[in-house]
Amino acid sequence: MALDRKVAIVNLSTGKIDIKPISLEVRKKFLGGRGLAAYLLYKYVKPGCDPMGPDNAVIFSAGILGGTLASAGSRTDVMCKNPLTGLLGSGNMGGFFAPELRFAGFDHIVVLGKAPKPVYIWVNDGVVEIRDAKNLWGKSVTEAQWAVREELGDPDIKCAVCGPAAEKGVRYANVMTGIKNSNGRGGGGSVMGSKNLKMVAARGTMDIKIAHPMEALEFDKRYIEQITSAKVNQTMGALGTPFIWGATNSWGGLRTNNFQYNQLLYCDEIEPESIDEWSKKSVGEYNMTACFGCQVHCRAKYKIPDTPLARKFGVVGNYDEGPEYTSQGAFCCEPGCTRLDTLLICNHLVDQYGVDNLEIGHMIAWAMELYEEGILTNKDTGGLELRFGNDEALIEMIHQICNRSTPLGNILAEGGIRAAEKIGKNSIKYLVHVKGMGNLHSDERATPGLALNIAVASRGSDHLRSRPAIDLYHLPVDVLRKIYSSPVPYDGPLSSDHTEYIGKPWQVYWHENCYMAVDCLGTCKYHTTFLGATLPNFEDWSKVLYYNTGLEMSPKDIWDVAERCNIVERLFNIREGMKKDDPYKGEILVDRYFNEPARRGAPDVVGKTIDRQKFIEMRAEFYKYRGCDEDGVPKPETLKRLGLENIDKEPSLV
Amino acid sequence: MEPKVLVINHEKCTGCRRCELVCSVYHEGVSNPSKARIKVEKWEWEGLYIPMTCRQCIDAPCMNVCPVKAIYRNEEEGRVHVDHDICIGCRSCVAVCPFGAMNFNPSEKRVFKCDLCSGEPQCVRFCDMKAVDFVTPSKESLIKKRNAAKKIADAKKLATTMSYEA
Amino acid sequence: MSEDRSTAESLRSTRTYGQVRCMNPSCMGRITPDPGAPKAKCPRCGSEWRIFWVKPGFPRVKGPVWETSQKLAQEKWAAIQAQAQQKKEEN
C-alpha cells in the first residue's frame, strides 16, 4: 500500500532508532510530506532551542504520492528550525530521493541529537543504519554521492546530502540530491552540518501497491496530458524555469542592484533563450532532463564554456544542470551582472558547495550596495572591488562565504540580520528580507498580491508558499471566480489587475492551501495552479489520491488538511517568537517597499510603491480567512475546528 | 506483417523513469522500479541516460540456453516469450542475456522480461519524448538514416551561411 | 469516482494560441505577432516587445525592445518627478 510507509526517528546522540507506523487517522489529518513534517517538527523540536544545537530536528519527508503514478511524485521536503531565521525552516526538492525513500519503506526520517563524529544514515528496504562518514565528509555535493555509491556498491543509491558550505556552518546551506536538485531556503543543510550528518542515503526495492492500478494508469494518462498541454509547461519544457524571466524582467518586476532598480537592462546574454542556445551547443539538441516520473522536463543540462573567467576559477567544461530562474536572480539582476559565463559558473559553485543560491546572491548584492554606499570599505573586503556588475567579485565572494575564508565571508555566512548587527552603520536599512530571510529576486512593488505573499510566507520571504502568480496574467474575473471558488465558496471581490489590492488576500490564502496540499502529496508545484491557470488542483487530486492510494478524500477534505498543516506551521512560528510587526521575525515588508518608488520597467510600473495602509488591511483580511485574530494568532475555534486544540498537550501521534 | 519492436533513442531520454513506473504498475499492480521490465541506466555526471530492455533477439541467447525449452519466439508478435509452466527457475537465461534484460523476481521466484504489453507497450504510451518507440525493425534504420542525415544537412546549411556572410 | 471534468480541465477551453500579452500592467492586451517576427508592437499602449518562437505558432515575449522601453520609462519617471515638484510648490 502507498499508505504503509513508516517514520524512522533517529537519535544521533544516542544512536537509537525508532521505527513507527503512520495510522490512517494521521494520514487523513496530515496526508504526508510537508504537512505531516510540520506536525513532527512541532512535536520533536524542543521549543526555543538553538537551531544549530542538538535539540533541533531535521526531517526528511516524501509525500503520500511520492513514487506512485502521480505525475512528478518526486518531491522531498526537508524541515527543521531554520538557523537563518529561528523560525520554520522548510525546503522542497525534486530529483529521485523521495521515491527511493518510499521504495525503501519510509516516508519520514526524523533526525535528532548530534553525532560525535561525521556519520550518514543508510536506509535500505525497511532497515535504517547510522554509518561512519569519514570517507564522505569534506566532499562536494556530487563527489559525496558518487563516493557512497562506490562504498556500498550500488549505482542506484539516491542521497539527500549536504555540501562543504553546511560543514563550515553557513546558515543558509541546502540539502541537495543529484547534480543540482536543491532543497533550498530552509537551512536543512546547515542543520545537517551542525549534527555531523553528511547524508541520508536510500535504496529500496519494496512494492508501493497501487490501489486501482488500471484505473490509475488510465486516469494518469489524462492527468499528464492536462499538465503537459499547458502552454506554460511547454515553454518550461523548452527553456526551463528561466522562461519566467521573459515576463518579469519585461515589465519590471526584478530587484536589480539589490533593490535600487526593478529591471536588469540590456541583459540579452542571460535571457532564457540565450541560456538554451548555449545549453544545446554544449550538450546537444536534447538538452532537457527531468525529475522522477515527470513529462515536463524543465531542467537544462550544460557545460561551462571556455572563457577567461571560467579558466581563472578552474571550471571550464564542468557539467551541471540548470540554471534555474532563481540563479538568474541571484547572479544576474541582484548583483547587476549580465554575463552568461558568470551565471553558469556561479550556479555550478552553489551546486557543489550546497548553498542556497537565492540567499547567497542576496547577501552579496546587499554587500555590494553597502560597498557603494561606503558602509563597507576596501578594508572590510580585503581590497575586493565589491561593486555592482563586478562578475569576478561576485564569484570570489561565493568562495569566501562558503569556505568562511575571509572576515567578510565569515560575516556574510551568518545571514542578513546577524551580519547587519556586526557591520552596523545602518546597514540593516539596505537589507531586503522578511523574517530574516532574503527576498527572492522579485520586486513586488507593482504587485500587492505578491507582496502580501512574501510577507506572510511561513518560511520567510518566499514565493513558493502562497504566491498568486497567475495574478500576473490578468485573467478575466469569471475565470478567477471559477478557480478561487473551489473547493470552498468565495463571493468576495476579485480583480484582474495585478497592481490592485482588492481580492488579493483571498488569492494568497487560497494559494497557501493549494501549495500546502501539493507539498503534502509530494508532487511538483509546476503541476498545479502556480504558473498556469488550467493546471490540476483539489478536484483532480481527489481522484489521483483515490486511484493510487485508495484514500477517499473529497476536494474539501484535502483543502482541510492544507488548512490544518498551515496552521501547524503558523503555531510553530508563533511558538518560536514570530510577532506580526516585528521587523526581524514579523509578517511585514521592509521600508524600501513603501518608500522607494520603482524606476524602471513598463510605464505603469514606474513610480509604484506598496501602500502601507492598504498592505496592513490586506494582511488583516488574510488573517481573517486564515482563522486568526488580528495579531495573526490562530483563534481557539479555528484550532478546535481543525482538531488541533490539544497539539501542545497530546503525545505525538507518530 | 512485420511485427514491431521497441526502439530506443537514448539521446531523447530525459531520465524521468516513468517507463519503469508504468511498466511495474501494468504488470504487477505495484509501483516498484525493481520489478519493471525496462530500466534507465544513468551516468548522471554526464547527463547520459540509457533505457535498457529486452531486444527480442532473433537468435536469442536466453532461448538457446534454456535447458527445458521454456523460452521461445512468438514470430507473429515478434517477441521472446517465457512459458512459466515449463520454467524451472534456473536463471541460466538471466546469466546469458547480453543486455541484462532478463530479470529475476526473488519473492515470486521466477524470471520476468518485457512482453511488449501484448501489443501496446505502456512505456511507449507514456513517453512523451518518444525515447522509447514501437516501430518495425526496417523502419528503425530508416529513422536513424534520416536523423543522421539531418545532422549533415544542418552542418552543410551552417557552412553555406557562414561562407555567404564572409 | 465521477468521470466528469474538473474545474481545471474545463478551463482548458480558455487557452489561447498564437498570441502574447502586452506586459504593461494596465494594458495586458493580446498581441498577435506576424508569424516568425522577431518583434511586436502593442497597438494599444505603444510598448514594444522582442518575440521568441517556442515553436511555429507559439510566440512568447523574450524581453522589451530596450530603446522603446527605456524611453517610455524615462518619460513616465520625469512626469512623476514634475508632478511631485508641482505638489511641493503648491504646498
- Contact A208/B122, CB-based, under 8 Å? no
Torsion of CA A108, A349, A173, A516, to 10 degrees: -50
How many helices and strands (H and E) does chain A possess? 26, 18
- Share above pLDDT 70 across residues of chain B, in percent, rounded to a whole number: 95
Distance CA A201, CA A468 (A): 35
Contact yes or no for A42/A149 (Cβ under 8 A): no
For residues A578 and A633, is the Cβ–Cβ distance under 8 A? no
> Is the domain of B42 the same as that of B122?
yes
How many whole angstroms from its chain centre is CA A367?
23
Backbone angles phi and psi of C43, in degrees to 5: -70, -20
Nearest in space to A401 (alpha carbons), one of A423, A422, A428, A381: A381
**For position A30, what pLDDT does the model report?**
98
Q: Where in chain A is the domain with CATH 1.10.599.10?
A: 448-641
pLDDT confidence band for A67 (50 / 70 / 90) = very high
Chain segment B8-60, per-residue pLDDT in tens: 999 999 999 999 999 999 999 999 999 999 999 999 999 999 999 999 999 99
Domain edges within chain C: 14-90
Same domain, B41 and B11: yes
pLDDT surpasses 80 at B141 = yes
Helix (H, G, I), strand (E, B) or coil at C58: strand
The answer to whether the CB of B93 falls within 8 A of the CB of B111 is yes
Question: Hey, which residues does A106 pair with through a beta bridge?
Answer: A6
- Beta-ladder partners of A257: none
Domain count, chain B: 3
- CATH T-level assignment (fold) for domain A238-438: 1.10.569
Cβ within 8 Å of A, B 85-144:
122, 125-126, 128-129
pLDDT given for residue C1 in this prediction: 44
Q: What is the pLDDT of residue B166?
A: 42
Q: How far from A406 is each of A170, A383, A411, A412, B77, CA to CA, in Å? A: 13, 12, 9, 10, 69
Largest CA distance in chain A: 68
Query: Taking a C-beta distance cutoff of 8 angstroms, is the pair A437, A461 a contact?
Result: yes
Chain A residue nearest residue B107, CA to CA = A206
> How far, CA to CA in Å, does C1 sit from each of A24, A220, A389, A539?
21, 14, 57, 11
Q: How far apart are CA C43 and CA C64, in angstroms?
A: 15
Structure confidence by residue, pLDDT tens digits, A195-223: 999 999 999 999 999 999 999 999 999 99
> pLDDT of A174-184, one tens digit each?
999 999 999 99
* pLDDT surpassing 80 at residue B162: no
What's the rounded Cα separation, in Å, for the pair A271 and A267? 7
Q: How many residues does chain B have?
A: 166
Give A537's DSSP letter: -
For the stretch A403-443, pLDDT in tens is: 999 999 999 999 999 999 999 999 999 999 999 999 999 99
Q: Which of A185-189, A198-202, B113-117, C29-33 has the lowest mean pLDDT?
A: C29-33
Range(s) within chain A of domains with CATH label 3.60.9.10? 6-203
Q: HEC states along A296-319?
A: CCCEEEEECCCCHHHHHCCCCCCE
Q: Which residues of A362-398 are buried (b: 16+ CB within 10 A; e: fewer)?
A: bbbbbbbbbbbeebbeeebbeebebebebbebbbbbb
Question: Does B102 lie in the same domain as B60?
Answer: yes
Nearest to C76 among A529, A547, A603 (CB): A603
Task: Tell whether C91 is within 8 A of chain A (Cβ).
Answer: no
Q: How far is A394 from A270, CA to CA, in rounded Å?
A: 16
Q: Is A534 within 8 Å of C25 when comparing Cβ atoms?
A: no
Give the A-side interface with B, CB within 8 Å: 2, 67-69, 96, 103, 142, 146, 155, 178-179, 205-210, 213, 216-217, 220-221, 224, 228, 283-286, 288-295, 297, 301, 319, 321
Phi, psi of A226 (to 5 degrees): -60, -40
Name which of A494, A526, A527 is nearest A510 in CA terms: A494
Answer yes or no: is pLDDT of A382 > 70.
Answer: yes
Using alpha carbons, select from A234, A229, A236, A117 the residue that is nearest to residue A167: A117
Where are the strands (E) in A474-607, listed by range? none
Residue A89 has a CB neighbour count (10 Å cut-off) of 28
Helix and strand numbers (H, E) in chain C are 2, 5
Q: Domain A448-641 has what CATH class? A: mainly alpha
Torsional class of A494: left (φ above 0), alpha (ψ -120 to 50), beta (otherwise)? beta
Nearest partner of A486 among C14, C16, C10, judged by Cα: C10
- pLDDT, residue B161, reads 62
Cell numbers found for residue B40: 534507465
Question: Which three three-digit cell numbers place residue A126?
Answer: 525497511
Place of cell 530603446: C67
The pLDDT of A357-376, averaged and rounded, is 98
Q: Which helix (H) or strand (E) holds A190?
A: helix A188-194
Cross-chain Cβ contact C14/A479 below 8 Å = yes
Measure the CA–CA gap between A264 and A245, rounded to whole angstroms: 10
- The amino acid sitting at B52 is M
C41-90 per-position pLDDT tens digit: 999 888 999 999 999 999 999 999 999 999 999 999 999 999 989 988 88
Distance from the C56 Cα atom to the nearest Cα atom in chain A, whole angstroms: 13
Mean pLDDT in residue range A57-76: 97
| CA–CA gap between residue A252 and residue A446 (Å, rounded) | 9
At A347, the amino acid letter reads N
**Residue-range definition of the domain harbouring residue B40:** 1-53+114-135
Asked if B43 and B78 sit in the same domain, the reply is no
**ipTM for the complex shown:** 0.95
Q: Write down the CATH superfamily of domain A6-203.
A: Aldehyde ferredoxin oxidoreductase, N-terminal domain (3.60.9.10)
Q: Burial of C1 by CB count in 10 Å (0-12 exposed, 13-18 middle, 19+ buried)?
A: exposed
Whole-number Å distance between alpha carbons of A130 and A153: 17
Higher pLDDT, B151 or A510: A510
- pLDDT higher than threshold 50 for residue C2: no
**Where are the alpha helices (H) located in A415-485, listed in sequence order?**
416-423, 448-456, 477-484
For the domain that residue B99 is a member of, what is the CATH number? Answer: 3.30.70.20
Chain B environment of A291 (Cβ under 8 Å): 16
Give me the sign of the Cα torsion angle A316, A317, A318, A323: positive
3-state secondary structure of A118: coil
